[in-house]
């Protein structure tokens, strides 16, 4: 940790301590919009002493389906550079900006912050041709993260991701199981389980027929947001036998990635109000982690998307 960030962290902690004491005395309260974010556990007065993180779950605007089922959750947003989609993205960013975040964070490898800094400089100069090869101008990092940071006249967004494949924690002798092969048929289990293909088809319909604001409102609804985790847990537990945990290693790797993202949010970002633009499937796990971590308070974007 560099000296500047360490100093910022100490200042934040000092402010947090004072804010917490004032909150207990009844001097602070969350804003009206934030009070309905679902993160309040009955101790709302203490939230003034926490780093607030708005978890904005995005679809991958840079379409990621490789045609071979590489991303089974992928939907196709179409050409987001169209005039109507650009208006929708401007509306979306404007609403998120109302929360007045102090820093934007994005799903980009934390080890590659310098490349993100250069890409943001190119974006602000109007030179989208100089973006890194894997950062297409249609990517949500550019279309939402950069747009927000630029609108708020911020420094470059913070890179907080730790890319990790689901098979990363498998033992060398374990055969990597296919997620789809592990996923039980909803008709074969006694508990409610969403159907993967049906849910993706409905998402695609909503994306085709509605606006990006409407779709992201749907995507950030807690009932919709947790379906990805429900499928992962079902695949991990149903795909394992007693004493054999190759399938659960996939779920462990997913949570390890999210824990490292949370760690990067604390150690690599300064400020008391952070807005994180990240794939929507990460949000339920991160919301849980930021709720139990004593230094954070997760904030829902839903009140700003109404």
* 110 — pLDDT class (breaks 50, 70, 90): very high
Q: Tell whether 67 is covered by a domain.
A: yes
Higher pLDDT, 291 or 21: 291
What is the reported pLDDT for 38?
47
Lowest mean pLDDT among 30-44, 127-141, 213-227, 234-248: 30-44
241 within some domain: yes
Residue 258 counted as domain residue: yes
- For the ranges 39-43, 46-50, 258-262, the maximum mean pLDDT occurs at 258-262
pLDDT at res. 180 = 78
Q: Which pLDDT belongs to residue 34? A: 56
Query: How many angstroms separate the first and last alpha carbons of the chain?
Result: 39
Contact 258, 282 (CB under 8 A): yes
Going by C-alpha positions, the residue among 260, 293, 299, 258 that lies closest to residue 279 is: 258
Total Cβ atoms within 10 A of residue 59:
24
Number of domains, the chain? 1
Whole-angstrom Cα distance, residue 49 to residue 22?
9
Per-residue pLDDT of 182-229, as tens digits, reads 889 999 999 999 888 999 999 999 999 999 999 999 999 998 888 888
Contact assessment for residue 156 and residue 117, using Cβ atoms and an 8 Å cutoff: yes
| pLDDT over 70 at 8, yes or no | no
Supply the DSSP symbol for 268. Answer: S
Structural domain of 234: 50-305
Cβ neighbours of residue 2 under 8 Å, at least 6 residues apart? Answer: none
Which band of pLDDT confidence, cut at 50, 70 and 90, is reported for residue 19?
very low
DSSP of 128-170: GGGS-TTS-TTSHIIIIIIHHHHHTT--PPEEEE----TTTT-
Is the per-residue pLDDT at 168 higher than 70? yes
Span of 44-58, 132-146, 261-275 with lowest mean pLDDT? 44-58
Q: Which of 16-20, 149-153, 157-161 has the lowest mean pLDDT?
A: 16-20
State residue 16's pLDDT score. Answer: 44
Flag whether 5 is in a domain: no
Give the span between the Cα atoms of 242 and 253, in whole angstroms: 19
- Hey, what are 4's tokens? 């500047």
Q: What integer pLDDT is reported at residue 228 of this predicted model?
A: 85
Q: How far is CA 17 from CA 49, 58, 201, 277, in A?
A: 6, 33, 48, 28
Determine the Cα–Cα distance for residues 82 and 86; give it in Å rounded to an integer. Answer: 6
Six token digits for residue 219 = 């995507």
- H helices of 146-241, in order, are 147-151, 179-182, 196-209, 212-219, 222-225, 227-238
- Indicate the pLDDT class of residue 27, thresholds 50, 70 and 90: very low
35 is a domain residue = no
Measure the CA–CA gap between 262 and 145, rounded to whole angstroms: 18
* pLDDT at 171 (0 to 100): 76
Closest to 211 in 3D by CA, of 88, 65, 117: 88
Distance CA 109, CA 86 (A): 26
275 DSSP β-pair partners: 54, 104
- Residue 267 belongs to a domain: yes
User: Is the pLDDT at 140 greater than 70, yes or no?
Assistant: yes
Q: Which residues contact 245 (CB under 8 A, 6 or more apart)?
A: none
Q: What is the pLDDT of residues 86-97, one digit of tens each?
A: 999 999 999 999
Q: In the chain, where do the E strands start and end?
A: 51-58, 103-109, 158-161, 273-279, 296-299
Which tops the pLDDT comparison, 276 or 43?
276
Instruction: Evaluate whether residue 33 is within a structural domain.
Output: no
| Residue 3 reports pLDDT greater than 60 | no
Quote the Cα angle for 111-77-165, to 5°. Answer: 35
What rounded mean pLDDT belongs to the chain? 84
Give the Cα separation of 275 and 148 in Å (integer): 10
38 within domain boundaries: no
**What's the whole-model pTM score?**
0.83
């Amino acid at each position: 940790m560099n000296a500047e960030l360490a100093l910022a962290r100490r200042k934040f902690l000092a402010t947090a301590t004072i804010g917490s004491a004032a909150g207990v005395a009844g001097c602070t309260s969350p804003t009206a919009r934030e009070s309905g974010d679902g993160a309040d556990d009955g101790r709302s007065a203490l939230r003034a002493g926490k780093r607030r993180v708005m978890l904005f779950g995005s679809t991958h605007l840079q379409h990621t389906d490789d045609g071979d089922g590489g991303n089974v959750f992928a939907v196709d947003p179409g050409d987001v550079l169209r005039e109507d989609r650009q208006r929708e993205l401007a509306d979306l960013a404007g609403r998120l900006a109302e929360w007045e975040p102090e820093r934007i964070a994005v799903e980009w490898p934390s080890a590659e912050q310098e490349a993100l800094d250069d890409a943001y400089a190119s974006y602000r100069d109007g030179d989208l041709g100089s973006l890194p090869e894997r950062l297409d101008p249609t990517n949500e990092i550019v279309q939402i993260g950069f747009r927000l940071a630029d609108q708020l006249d911020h420094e470059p967004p913070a890179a907080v991701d730790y890319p990790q494949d689901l098979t990363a924690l498998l033992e060398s002798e374990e055969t990597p199981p296919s997620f789809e092969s592990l996923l039980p048929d909803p008709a074969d289990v006694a508990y409610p389980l969403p159907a993967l293909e049906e849910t993706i088809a409905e998402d695609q319909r909503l994306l085709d027929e509605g606006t990006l604001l409407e779709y992201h409102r749907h995507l950030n609804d807690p009932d919709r947001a947790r379906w990805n985790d429900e499928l992962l847990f079902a695949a991990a537990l149903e795909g394992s036998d007693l004493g054999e945990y190759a399938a659960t290693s996939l779920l462990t790797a997913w949570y390890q990635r999210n824990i490292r993202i949370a760690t990067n949010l604390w150690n690599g970002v300064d400020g008391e109000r952070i807005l994180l633009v990240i794939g929507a499937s990460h949000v339920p796990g991160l919301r849980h982690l930021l709720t139990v971590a004593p230094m954070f308070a997760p904030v829902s974007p839903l009140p700003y998307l109404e």
